[in-house]
Amino acid sequence: MINILVCDDDKDIVDAIEIYLAPEGYHILKAYDGIQAIEMMRSNDIQLLIMDVMMPRMDGIRATLKIREESNIPIIILSAKTEDTDKIFGLNVGADDYVTKPFNSLELVARVKSQLRRYTKLGTMTPETVSNVYRTGGLEINDDMKQVTVDGRIVEKLTPIQYNILLFLTKNKGRVFSIEQI
């Protein structure tokens, strides 16, 4: 199941986007400001984000910058800001596409499919969702082959316990565990 997070302070727009995308087989999660979007990103497996720019509490630009620190998922900005400078700025802060309001529903669906195709088929989707390869920074763990590389060089001297701890921590990056939990 592909999860798409839609973030806009206008609930009618969020509901309309769900109406357009749900028949395509996508599961829609909803947020209404940038803070909620970041929280949803951290607690759910999201494959694509549609983000408004002008929202209360945290706008879409600041939220996109924060999300880009943690994730490479496709982000489509959906905004009433139509100036070229706004579009360029949105793309430069980390968005993958920019759609202006009012938008054509068929075009939005096509752009979503295009971004997901690129993300899932060309290998940039988070490794946990496409294979048993896990990456963070220069570290890569191929759990099928039980192989660890750092900056492209194979790490050869890991005990099974060291390997399992490294794999566990990589799968749960950003979380803190006690010794007992590990």
- Both 68 and 122 in one domain: the answer is yes
pTM for the full predicted model: 0.67
- Both 55 and 140 in one domain: the answer is no
Q: Which tens digits make up the pLDDT trace of 16-55?
A: 999 999 999 999 999 999 999 999 999 999 999 999 999 9
Residue 90, SS3 per DSSP: helix
- Both 145 and 112 in one domain: the answer is no
CB-based burial label for 92 (10 Å; 0-12, 13-18, 19+): exposed
- Across residues 108-137, what is the average pLDDT? 73
First-to-last CA distance in the chain? 29
Residue 42 is predicted with a pLDDT of 92
- Both 121 and 144 in one domain: the answer is no
Residue 147 is predicted with a pLDDT of 86
- Both 138 and 74 in one domain: the answer is no
- Both 159 and 105 in one domain: the answer is no
Q: Which tens digits make up the pLDDT trace of 145-157?
A: 788 998 888 888 8
How far apart are the C-alpha atoms of 142 and 73, rounded to whole Å? Answer: 21
Q: Which tens digits make up the pLDDT trace of 52-80?
A: 999 999 999 999 999 998 888 999 999 99
Domain range for residue 154? 131-171
- Both 111 and 137 in one domain: the answer is no
- Both 96 and 141 in one domain: the answer is no
Residue 70 is predicted with a pLDDT of 86
